[in-house]
Structure 1
Amino acid sequence: MADGTAERLRVLLLFGGQSSEHGVSCLSAANVLEALDPARYEVTTVGITRDGRWTLVEDVPRTPLETDTDDPAAALPEVGDDGDTVALVRTRKGTQLVRFPEHDAPGSGASSLGPVDVCFPVLHGPHGEDGTVQGLLATQGVPYVGADVASSAVGIDKRQMKNVFTARGLPQAPYRPVHRARWEEDRDGVLREIEGALAYPLFTKPSRQGSSIGIAKCRDTGELVAGIEEAFGYDRVAIVEQGVDGARELECALLGNNRVEVTPPGEVRTAHDFYDFEGKYLDEGLELQCPAAVPEPIQRACREFAREAYLAIGCRGMARVDFFYIEGATEPVLVNEINTIPGFTPASMFPYAWSTQGLEAPALVDRLLELALEAGSRDARYAP
């Protein structure tokens, strides 16, 4: 009880995960936890280790396990491997979070930590943002923040996402998907097709990845080959996208289930060649601005396209939609991608954009949990 009269909502905060965005997830979860009012919420923090084990932690890690490293991703926090294992178990009394101690002391058997009212998955990338965790939560009857299984799967897969956006008539930069099997069978043929259809500079990226991980800017054939090979280190499908000269990157934040709210587009300023991993999370000179300093018709186009992209994949809860803005072009606004679990780090546009609209972090997480319970209540009517 928070004040002796009202029962607090039991929230499972889930973070970490097996993707290369593990550390980013920890940064985001730390900010979500800070925004959750302890008078209203009883929060259980569960980290997913890099090998996929759910482990009970006392707090969200905020500092890296390793400090002496040249790997940018290793400079971020990581879920430790010393906590007890936990799992969601559906019992006759409903779904419970169960602890499995990692020692054999007398009386150290599995024990229930109690029911979960709602889950806030702060997970980025595969095995978290792709519908897998959402499917697990759905089968356990636990409401959760964010997009459902189908929308999550489409949103993270750039190949399928772009197909859906094309069907919706949304403007995009020219691109080509490259399948690993085809690449290994006929590399020269693939290169001829790409260079015949797209103009340098090109960007290569894994189809199912975020935070600019595995992305490369390619100015010639040699760099294109290296970029595709790097992307294949993260996924079996690579996306090759035509670069847009002089483009500015704008982002809109969205909230809602049936009624969708969209912020004005914001802009991230970085000294990096493009908005890469280091620019997003390790650049102390990063600047956020919302609304972006662009003409009103451009702001309006971004908001309209953001709403269309959100509806196109059947999103709910929240998302961030990213754009390229090319001043003076025939099509000045191009849709880049949608993120169904946007970042909550200090350098993330999603919470910043909403704060400029008067929705600070505590109110924002309140709203997200309300939307999750609303969606869970609605979906329960259609349970098999």
Structure 2
Amino acid sequence: MNRLPDLQSRLERAMQEQGLWPADSPWVRPAMEKFPRHRFAPDRLWTWDGDAYVPVDRSTDPEGWAELVYGSPADSTITQVIDGLPTSSLSCEEIVADMLDSLMLEPGQATLELGSATGRNARLLAQQAGPGLVTTVEFDPTLAAVAAANIAATGGGVDVLTGDGAAGAPGRGLFLRVMSTYAVDRIPWAWIRQTAPGGRIVTPWGRLGHVALTVAPDGQSASGWIQGLATFMPARGTSQGSEWDEARGGRAPAVEAPFAPDVQQLHQDASLLFALRVIAPDIRVRTALDNGAINVWLHDGHTSWASIEAPEIGGPAVARQGGPRRLAAELDVAWHGWKAAGTPSLWDFGMTRTRDDQFIWAHDAETGPRWSTTTASPLRAA
């Protein structure tokens, strides 16, 4: 029995019930329903079994395959794994819709996409922009071929190129809209140079959110607001560093001490988590609730680590840490930096990229507090 139509409808209803279809971009929902996820999903998908990513093949497990394609609005579908790490996916439906909304795409606007993956996003862009107006660039030749085939099978009208997305699309002129489907820590200047003044760039930043930038009239900078919070895959070839257990390496804690800040807030407040990503960008934070206790794991991608545990009822949290840095203390300093800036919410943050610098600001691009993303010290405001 073909359950794909039922699963597609289930996902569409969930998007509706959760208010995730963008009201300001009414074209998004019909486009996403016309070009559903399963038409772009490869026959082999991947899922995490608790220890590693394992394949799920459509030919041998059609039910499992279909469930991976159509999870919840917040579920992405892993379509490629290399060396044990996911390297490409069908992004979760709510983020696809949100980023398309953020782009503010109008018919007739030349559009550049970086990161073709399965080709679905380029197909959706072309549905709004029009045939012949979308160019998409993919680093992986195998994925580029898959994207080109999927786009051809669903109507064509998109130019698929193989190349490094960081360079944009050399020789293809200016675009009014640019979208990246992978995360970058520093917005490539080539993207701004290839966007017409007044044009809009939407990209994930730093694996924790996406931003929409408008290019200045003189073309020498781009600035705009953070649009949402989500985790994205980094640019191909970007070092992802070690994980927490690798950073710890089995070593016993060197320091154990009470941790005064409210760990529950750290677990629940997306604005705080984003602010910490801005102020202390090289500290990786993960939280989880386990039997009423909140656990926090910190590491720097190298050899410094910390774990913080808050008991279920009363009593201070306890930080255990090791390595050359004291990450719990650094987190506390960054937390105070957020408070000193007026505890801005996620929606109060923005970004400006100039030719030589990039910084995140809060409240106002000119007068608000700002943090350079290119300074050597992650805890020093610009």
Give the structure-1-normalised TM-score. 0.30
Give the structure-2-normalised TM-score. 0.30
Task: Considering fraction of residues, name the structure with more strand.
Answer: 2
